[in-house]
Amino acid sequence: MDCINQLAQCLNQGGMDAGLAQFISIFLGVVLVATFPLLVTILLIWVERKFAARIQDRIGPNRVGPFGLLQPIADVVKLLGKENITPTGADKPIYNLAPPFMVAAVLLVWAVMPLTPYHFGVDLEIGALYVITVASIGTLAVMMAGWASNNKYALLGAFRVVAQLISYEVPLAMAVLIPVMLAGSMSLQGIVKAQYGMWFVFAAPISAILFFISSQAETGRAPFDLLEAESELVAGFNIEYSGMKFAMFFAGEFMHVFTNGVLMAVFFTGGWIGPFVEQLPWLGLIYLLGKASIWYTISLWVRNSVPRLRIDQMMDFNWKFLVPMSILNVLVIAFLLQVIKQVGLTPIDPGNFIQNLPQTVVLLLGNVFVGYVMLSWVRSKGRQARAADEAKKMTAATVHAVGD
Amino acid sequence: MGARFAGQDAANRAFLRGDGWVMVVGGLTPQAIAFGFFTILTLGGACGVVLNKNLVRGAVWLIVSLFGIAGMFVLLSAPFLAAVQVMVYIGAIGILFTFAVMLTRSMTNLRQRFTAQWWSALIVVGMLFVFLMVSVIVPVWGGVAPELAGEVVATTTDLGAALVDGNQFVLPFEVASLLLTAAMIGAIVIARQHEEE
């Protein structure tokens, strides 16, 4: 907010009313924070299409501009020119409100994002909770779109989304709890600053994985893309939308994926932290976006190489694997943190790499323990299920043989 | 004391003469504007719930109303409660309401605005309203100390410490969590298919 405060002073000295100057500067700040992710999204659409094309052994967009870079702009012009259709029997106000809600749900997350040490929209005391809270508005938007379209495929798609989003919010929130416990703060700026000595991904790799998987599910991307399973639901909740309203849903989705990358960077890989960030705060933004891009690329890679799950498999995976794992993870980490505190291994200066080592090693061992317990439990479950299957087949065969 | 009351009297008289409106507009702080906005959201949303024929729209209005209450929490310097209000009431309960309403097809096409018992509900609600107004205006249970919300700021850290501190709220907190766990297990038991039958 440094530059923005200076702007207010500038305007004030130029003879403007103090209140008005403050209002204008805050307004400009809001516009900047809200526009930045939208502009990034235009580029991301190209990145995503090119990346998917290379994975599928195609070339991808290559006609408009150098390397097809201007393709998204051509798409936007095309979408702007399309007719906005409202189906008969649609609930008009709700139908029209749903797409802006979808975009707003993602944009609101950027309000608390720490971009550099000194540049952020607002440093909320409850930042981490706010991020999870705002995501629930996206669920509402999908629900509104699905119902207001007056189309049974849209409604079916919306039901699936809500079931999926509400379920995967549980491990997501549990995973965010770990960085909050490690940093002792819910403010995103506080969480980033607590990682000066050591990134949380080393102390809590399991919660990083849990957060990554559940945020992939929250965006509704493959392997969790049941909400728009083309072969089953035509297109899902957004089937009746066209033109810019359709584009808003997709802009929301693209932005959500990248925002999740940024959140991964903030919670687990140190946000804007990097060399020389103290001298040149703007470098922080480059570090943050760089780290976010790595997570974003992994997300695209998973999306383009893993097939879609069935809905019961998806629910089983969440409630019988991710949720127990996240609960066990929280219990073990909380216990170990208390033990570390009592023994006196807590780093006196959290910014010191060497002092962070004992705590990180202990927590990492705790993570290994959690991972081992969960995986061996799943293995024994699978073995039991296979044995039961075999037994059933055997009895069926004997009954058949006797019957003959 | 006497002087203060006299001053208040003068202000009241000025208000009755119509000068009050000038005063109100002159002292319009951002908090007052926000309070007005959230009040309109809360009450307007509530009216929308009651007066709408369409149940799904009613559920959406309910969400608007609950959002207004979340804004009130922010104005009372309780951001944590505001976030919880949005997460629990809008993100979970509001969505489950819409879900349930949509699943029951007969409920989405209701054409009646009121049920047959609307007058009994009106009497009960009216009595509750009068009771609340009287108890706020007439200090039956001791006067209400006018306390500025801005002066009682507690951080989220304080809240967290209060929930696990043996001298503060650890017992209510544990009882509430036990109750919620029991409710959750009960829901699972009811929803579970009876495999042995």
- A114-138 pLDDT, tens digit per residue, is 887 777 777 778 888 888 888 888 8
The answer, yes or no, to whether residue A359 has pLDDT greater than 70, is: yes
pLDDT at B40: 92
Instruction: Examine the domain organization and report whether A128 and A50 are in the same domain.
Output: no
Distance from CA of A294 to the nearest CA of B (A): 30
Give the residues across from A114 on adjacent strands: A120
Instruction: Examine the domain organization and report whether A200 and A122 are in the same domain.
Output: yes
Contact A166 B92 (CB under 8 A): yes
pLDDT at B8: 44
Q: B156 contacts in A (CB within 8 Å)?
A: 125-126, 186
Q: Which residues are within 8 A (CB) of B21 and not within 5 positions of it... i.e. 6 or more apart?
A: none
Each residue's pLDDT tens digit, B95-141: 888 777 777 765 556 666 667 778 888 899 899 989 888 877 776 66
Rounded CA-CA distance A139/A145 in Å is 10
pLDDT top residue among A109 and A10: A109
Residue recorded with tokens 């209140």: A19
* Single-letter code of the amino acid located at A43: L
**Any idea where the domains of chain B sit in the sequence?**
25-136, 154-197
Instruction: Examine the domain organization and report whether A77 and A137 are in the same domain.
Output: no
- Taking every pair of Cα atoms in chain B, the longest distance, rounded to a whole number of angstroms, is 81
Q: Which residues are within 8 A (CB) of A181 and not within 5 positions of it... i.e. 6 or more apart?
A: A333, A334, A337
Give the helix ranges, DSSP H, for chain B.
2-17, 19-26, 30-51, 55-75, 79-84, 95-103, 105-108, 118-137, 156-164, 170-191
Contact B94 A129 (CB under 8 A): no
Within 13 Å, how many C-alpha atoms sit on residue A58's CB side?
11
Torsion A237-A102-B94-B39 (CA) sign? negative
pLDDT at A231: 64
The answer, yes or no, to whether residue A251 has pLDDT greater than 70, is: yes
pLDDT band for position A271 (cuts 50, 70, 90): confident
Q: Which residues are within 8 A (CB) of A100 and not within 5 positions of it... i.e. 6 or more apart?
A: A248
Torsion B150-B155-B159-B161 (CA) sign? negative
Residue recorded with tokens 């579970």: B192
Torsion B107-B110-B114-B116 (CA) sign? negative
Instruction: Examine the domain organization and report whether A71 and A99 are in the same domain.
Output: no
Task: Return the DSSP state at A307.
Answer: P
Distances (CA, A) of A161 to A121, A192, A219, A261, B169: 30, 32, 10, 21, 37
Instruction: Examine the domain organization and report whether A108 and A245 are in the same domain.
Output: yes
Question: What does residue A126 show for φ and ψ, rounded to 5 degrees?
Answer: -110, 30
Instruction: Examine the domain organization and report whether A66 and A100 are in the same domain.
Output: no
Give the helix ranges, DSSP H, for A17-110.
18-55, 71-81, 92-107
Predicted TM-score of the model (pTM): 0.82
pLDDT at A404: 53
Residue A356, classified by CB atoms within 10 Å of its CB into exposed (0-12), middle (13-18) or buried (19+), is: buried
Instruction: Examine the domain organization and report whether A238 and A348 are in the same domain.
Output: yes
Between chain A and chain B, the number of residue pairs with CB atoms below 8 A apart is 59
pLDDT at B101: 77
Within 13 Å, how many C-alpha atoms sit on residue A122's CB side?
13
The rounded Cα A333 to chain-centroid distance in angstroms is 23
Rounded CA-CA distance A274/A255 in Å is 24
Distances (CA, A) of A47 to A37, A54, A63, A76, A212: 15, 11, 15, 16, 20
The total of structural domains in chain A comes to 2
Contact A124 B79 (CB under 8 A): yes
pLDDT at B182: 94
Distances (CA, A) of A223 to A172, A217, A219, A228, B175: 17, 8, 11, 11, 40
Rounded CA-CA distance B47/B62 in Å is 9
Low-confidence residues of chain B: pLDDT under 50: 1-25, 149, 197
pLDDT at A403: 57
CATH of segment(s) B25-136: 1.20.120.1200
Rounded CA-CA distance A201/A207 in Å is 8
Contact B102 A130 (CB under 8 A): no
Average pLDDT of chain A? Answer: 83
Question: Could you tell me which chain B residue has the CA closest to the CA of A125?
Answer: B156
pLDDT band for position A15 (cuts 50, 70, 90): low
- Pair A210, A326: CB distance under 8 Å: yes
State the residue range of the domain holding A224.
86-403
- Pair A255, A109: CB distance under 8 Å: no
Instruction: Examine the domain organization and report whether A285 and A256 are in the same domain.
Output: yes
Instruction: Examine the domain organization and report whether A121 and A197 are in the same domain.
Output: yes
Task: Return the DSSP state at B88.
Answer: I
pLDDT top residue among B115 and A291: A291
pLDDT at A109: 87
The rounded Cα A388 to chain-centroid distance in angstroms is 38
Q: A162 contacts in B (CB within 8 Å)?
A: 95, 99
Instruction: Examine the domain organization and report whether A50 and A125 are in the same domain.
Output: no
* Test mutation, A130, A185, A218, A312, chain B, max B CBs within 10 A: A130
Instruction: Examine the domain organization and report whether A138 and A60 are in the same domain.
Output: no
Instruction: Examine the domain organization and report whether A197 and A71 are in the same domain.
Output: no
Question: Could you tell me which chain A residue has the CA closest to the CA of B67?
Answer: A137
* Single-letter code of the amino acid located at A129: L
Contact A126 B63 (CB under 8 A): no
